[in-house]
Structure 1
Amino acid sequence: MLHHRLDGPPDGHPLILGPALGTSLAVWEPQLPALTRRHRVLRFDLPGHGGQRDQGPAPDSVAGLAELVLALADAQGWDAFRYAGISIGGAIGLQLALDHPERVASLALLCSSAHFGPPEPWHARAATVRAEGSGALVPGRREAWFTAGFTDEARAAALLADLAAVDPDRHAACCAALADYDLRHRLPEVTAPTLVLAGRADPATTTAHARELADAIPGASLTELAGAAHLANVERPAAVSAALLAHLSPGDPTDRYAAGLAVRRAVLGDAHVDRALADTTDFTAPFQDLITRYAWGEIWTRPGLSRHIRSCVTLTALVAGGHHRELALHVRAALRNGLTPEEIREVLLQSAVYLGVPAANAAFAAAEAALTDQPPAGE
């Protein structure tokens, strides 16, 4: 039995969270407050990782690892469960969704892939950890897991310490599992509602991996996060929590406000949302509830468009309406949603053609002020 931990209400919706290679179940701690409100969350350690370091042999295939996870679900009496996994944790979920489709109610693949590249680098990594220990990988993983702008050094140090402590033989077995893993030809068979999430600065599983998954899995939605590398859920915790909440509870009215508030915070930023909520009065409270539950909880959480595209549409609509204060707000939001300043400029140029030069002239002024952290005129 894999080492695991259960959190959340005993009668909550079953949810299994899979870790990345080299991490422990602690990698999911940033999401626990949001996910445990309505879910019974089971986190597990890979063989040789975290609390699993001295327990049992390690399968050398992703299918074998998936069977160990299925045994955890069986032990809980879960006939069906929701699943989210990072990297190899996502690969395990994909394998489960293909081999046991009746068990996986929904699937979220974070910084993962259907094929992690040729086998030779994985065999080389296995040889390194057998010869030098898992700690030999720490310097390179720091750069792969986090962008240069990540400032939570305490969390980074704890995760890298978990990597250094991984049992070398079991670590090598997980590398062998990834060396032989390739589910690209089976992606159209996935029937579970699927969210694919990628960090735009991830050097390990680039956005090309995510797009391959999203393009081939029927009905899958794709979210790309700016300012995030391989452990996107650690680097952009609010954005990942919001995406997961929206994906895990589609159409559930009891979760619409919570999901909407999480997305609103991820897109607009905590400071803006905190100010809006603090300024709420008895007169404006129904409006705040409306925009949080409906605009953010119903529309922004829909899987049909990525947040990247939704930002483009929103910017254009605000230019058309002449809503310059809101335009400045959503220029900053667009940056959080993965647009570059150059892409924002292209949206405004496109707007100039169809909405007129005067509208675009005012929009460029508001947008440039927002991009340079200056208050737009009248704010």
Structure 2
Amino acid sequence: MSVELHHTVSGPEDAPALLLGPSLGAASDMWQPQVEALSAHFRVICFDTRGHGDSPVPDGPYSIAELAGDVLRLMDDLGVRRAHYAGLSLGGMIGQWLAVHAPERIDRLALLATSPRMAPAQNWLDRAKLVRSEGTSAVADGVVDRWFTPGFVQEHPDQVQDRRDRVAATAPEGYASVAEAIAEWDIVAELPRVEAPTLVIAGADDPATPPEGHGSTIAEQIPGARLAVLDQAAHLLSWEQAERVNTLLVEHFTAGDRHAAGMRVRRSVLGDTHVDRAEERKTPFSEPFQDLITRYAWGEIWTRPGLDRRTRSCMVLTALTAHGHWNELGMHVRAARRNGLSADEIGEVFLQAAIYCGVPAANKAFAIAQEVLAEEA
């Protein structure tokens, strides 16, 4: 019987849904480095697997099919008919099961630091037995040792300790029952049935699910799957290489419809009034250009997580000033305000531009911005 999973939801309600499945010994907060970047484009749903975090801890045994059934119940409860899915380790196993057995519910799929089979089974049964007898703290150090590279541990000891404490706080019955489910996990023969466009991300330094034999097997078995191997990344690569993972996930999940993704960002940055006006003025002659800027300027560049929108606005204001694109400047002053820049910060951008783009250009930019800011006052 399925259980009601604890979960959090962020991002626009009308955006495509994206489910994030956590690792064994972790809860939804392990996706903290991804949520802000992904919520700019998706309705992000982070959940705690049964037996973990704030989700119920029913008595075992569990199976991966049951854990996936919990996710399907969550989707039903939220009114989500179809969603993108990204899962790391255990979360990736759940994602594989969903893509094979409930393909009508999964749009695009990302599988991080995971495997289609985690032999030998006895290792997992032994771990479950240890946790039941001595508690989850008995395995916490060993788990976290596999999660991060030595360099990351040395540079970020507080973060590593926090992750270790969260593993230790996991309910022993929940952890042990999931470990027993992993002992029985083997979906290799069924992977060719996956229809969802799939991205596989593996860590080059991952001792738990090294690329060879784990991520590589998934990529070989799923038709058209892409494998990305990240250097300086162990098992919890979404934490250690957050920016690289964010870029890969955004690119993968927006690839299905760049125009729709671009239009969401365009409306968020420029405002519905401006975009609606541009759409109303669109003609058969200008439509290809409107499509171009929506797909590439807004769908390819503005959707990238590598820079926040405040920074992108600063760069756009500077570029427009440098090239004298005065017809566009007022629109992007308004956009900069929507992206969180204050009037004083916009002034600082133009002062900087005065040095590198020329005083006359900055003078013109100040005049245009002053008019726009006065209208909004």
**The one of 310, 321, 324 aligned to 1:282:** 321
**The one of 33, 44, 53 aligned to 2:36:** 33
Structure 2 counterpart of 1:173, one-letter code: S
Q: Secondary structure at the match of 2:150?
A: coil
Structure 2 counterpart of 1:172, one-letter code: A
Question: Residue 172 in 1 paired to residue 172 in 2?
Answer: no
Q: Secondary structure at the match of 2:95?
A: helix
Q: Secondary structure at the match of 1:33?
A: helix
Aligned to 1:24: 27
Structure 1 counterpart of 2:122, one-letter code: E
Structure 1 counterpart of 2:9, one-letter code: L
Structure 2 counterpart of 1:30, one-letter code: P
Alpha-carbon distance in 2 for matches of 1:123, 1:59: 12
1:284–1:246 Cα change, 3 Å? farther
Q: After the TM superposition, which residues 70-109 of structure 1 pair with which residues of structure 2 at under 5 Å, given as runs?
A: 70-109=72-111
Aligned to 2:205: 201
State the shift of 1:50 in Å.
Answer: 1.3
Please give the per-residue CA displacement for 1:29-68, whole angstroms capped at 9, x wherever unaligned: 000111111211111112221112x543455210111001
Alpha-carbon distance in 2 for matches of 1:284, 1:199: 43
Alpha-carbon distance in 1 for matches of 2:319, 2:13: 35
State the shift of 1:128 in Å.
Answer: 0.9
Please give the per-residue CA displacement for 1:267-313, whole angstroms capped at 9, x wherever unaligned: xxxxxx99988974534699xxxxxxxxxxxxxxxxxxxxxxxxxxx
Q: After the TM superposition, which residues 230-245 of structure 1 pair with which residues of structure 2 at under 5 Å, given as runs?
A: 230-245=235-250
Aligned to 2:131: 129
Q: Secondary structure at the match of 1:149?
A: helix
**The one of 141, 145, 148 aligned to 2:147:** 145
* Number of equivalences: 280
Question: Residue 154 in 1 paired to residue 158 in 2?
Answer: yes
Alpha-carbon distance in 2 for matches of 1:284, 1:158: 49
Alpha-carbon distance in 2 for matches of 1:123, 1:71: 28
State the shift of 1:233 in Å.
Answer: 0.5
Please give the per-residue CA displacement for 1:176-220, whole angstroms capped at 9, x wherever unaligned: 110000000011110001000011100000011111111110011
TM-score by length of 2: 0.69
- Runs of 4+ more than 3 Å apart: 54-59, 253-266, 273-286
Question: Residue 185 in 1 paired to residue 189 in 2?
Answer: yes
Q: After the TM superposition, which residues 260-271 of structure 1 pair with which residues of structure 2 at under 5 Å, given as runs?
A: 260=301, 265=306
Q: After the TM superposition, which residues 53-72 of structure 1 pair with which residues of structure 2 at under 5 Å, given as runs?
A: 55-58=57-60, 60-72=62-74
Structure 1 counterpart of 2:166, one-letter code: D
1:278–1:235 Cα change, 3 Å? farther
State the shift of 1:117 in Å.
Answer: 1.5
Q: Contact 1:197–1:210 (CA<8 Å) still a contact in 2?
A: yes
Q: Taking every aligned residue pair, what percent have the same amino acid on both sides?
A: 37
Alpha-carbon distance in 2 for matches of 1:232, 1:20: 11
Structure 2 counterpart of 1:111, one-letter code: A
1:43–1:265 Cα change, 3 Å? closer
Q: Please tell me whether Structure 1 or Structure 2 has the larger radius of gyration of its CA atoms.
A: 2
Alpha-carbon distance in 1 for matches of 2:61, 2:19: 19
**The one of 5, 8, 27 aligned to 1:5:** 8
1:216–1:181 Cα change, 3 Å? same
Alpha-carbon distance in 2 for matches of 1:262, 1:234: 20
Q: Contact 2:191–2:222 (CA<8 Å) still a contact in 1?
A: yes
Aligned to 2:349: none
Alpha-carbon distance in 2 for matches of 1:285, 1:25: 47
Q: Secondary structure at the match of 1:242?
A: helix
Aligned to 1:114: 116
TM-score by length of 1: 0.69
Alpha-carbon distance in 2 for matches of 1:69, 1:99: 13
Aligned to 2:291: none
| CA RMSD, Structure 1 to Structure 2 (Å) | 2.5
Q: Secondary structure at the match of 2:321?
A: coil
Please give the per-residue CA displacement for 1:147-185, whole angstroms capped at 9, x wherever unaligned: 011123333222211100111111111011100000000
1:283–1:3 Cα change, 3 Å? same
Q: Contact 2:246–2:305 (CA<8 Å) still a contact in 1?
A: no
State the shift of 1:75 in Å.
Answer: 0.4
Q: Secondary structure at the match of 2:43?
A: strand
Q: Secondary structure at the match of 2:70?
A: helix
Aligned to 1:218: 223
Q: Secondary structure at the match of 1:50?
A: coil
